[in-house]
Chain A
Amino acid sequence: MLILNCPYCGVDAEETELHAGGEAHLKRFGPGSSDAEFEAYLFARENPKGVHFERWRHANGCGKWFHAARCTMTLEVFGTYPAQVSEPPQDIRDKITAKRPGWSWRDIK
């Protein structure tokens, strides 16, 4: 059972209060982009064994979208952070580095 702390209402919400929103920090490519960019935006997703960044929504709760950094192998949660960022904040990266030295995810290290 996954338990994520919602950064908006402060609840330690268990999985059944949450709705998974897929991979975090995708950059949208729409009209005017190349076919390759558009295809990657639509379909190319990370599937890591280890550190991963995801979007979650506190659906049965305050209703807010937020981000979570966790390990897909151990289900360890490194932290959650607000939705209004385009990459993981430094404090979250530091927490991951402390536990998974040398980690990387897409072009983030």
Chain B
Amino acid sequence: MSELSALNGAAFQGTVTVEDAGLQGMITLRGDLASAKLAKAVKAATGLAIPAQRKIGFGDDRALAWMSPDELLILTPYEDAPAIAAKLAQALQGEHALVQNMSDARAMFRLAGAPGVLREVLAKLAPVDLSAEAFGPGDFRRTRLAQVAGAFWFDDSTTARVICFRSVADYAYKLLCVSAEEGGEVGFYG
């Protein structure tokens, strides 16, 4: 287990706040998301239902994100991830499924600011329609952030979260900071 998150709590104040969200539990589940047995095991381990295509569902301290028709991302407090992963693996024994605690392989950033500017900071980096009609809280999108793979979602209209591989966390953080630099406002989303 890692003791420090990738950027060790770094934060930047620009048109929005960009900060390392700290250690975050992330469990990857591969399996048929349409399987009733898998849905039951996920519900028992997390208390949450499997989200619809490209959606993220939230619980008190956890969330479930749809990654692909056979991949789910389970977000939990960092220290809870090993136990939840073990419980899930146990429940899925005999199924064609794989559970892996990926917490130390990834990094998470939290972006906070006014709704329009927040959308703009992400829109500058990803080929995604970030208009409010096309993407809002509850939506989840895997894409690229400039040259690396990443994913993001909105907790609410003023908070976004971005995840990427830990190996490219420094690059992703610097990208987000540049995108949020004062003077770089476009004003496209108001």
Contact = CB atoms under 8 A, between A and B. Distances in A.
Interface stretch (B17-25, B81-89, B142-150, B168-176): B142-150
B8 interface: no
10 contacts: A8-B68, A8-B69, A9-B54, A13-B127, A16-B127, A16-B144, A60-B149, A61-B143, A62-B68, A63-B71
Contact of B144 (A8, A9, A11, A17): A17
Nearest to A60: B144
A14 B53 contact: no
A60 B148 CA distance: 8
Contacts of A9: 53-54, 68-69, 142
Interface of A: 8-11, 13-14, 16-17, 59-64
B41 to A, nearest CB: 22
B67 interface: yes
Nearest to A6: B68
Contact of B68 (A16, A17, A59, A64): A64
B127 A14 contact: yes
Interface string B39-68: 000000000000001100000000000011
Interface of B: 53-54, 67-69, 71, 127, 141-144, 149
Contacts of A61: 142-143
A2 B71 CA distance: 26
Contacts of B143: 17, 60-61
**Residue of A8, A16, A59, A61 with highest tally of chain B CB at under 10 A:** A61
Nearest to B127: A14
A103 B11 CA distance: 58
A11 B68 contact: no
Contacts of A13: 127
Contact of B54 (A10, A14, A16, A63): A10
A71 to B, nearest CB: 22
B142 A62 contact: yes
A83 to B, nearest CB: 12
B112 to A, nearest CB: 25
A81 B3 CA distance: 45
Contacts of A17: 127, 143-144
B73 to A, nearest CB: 12
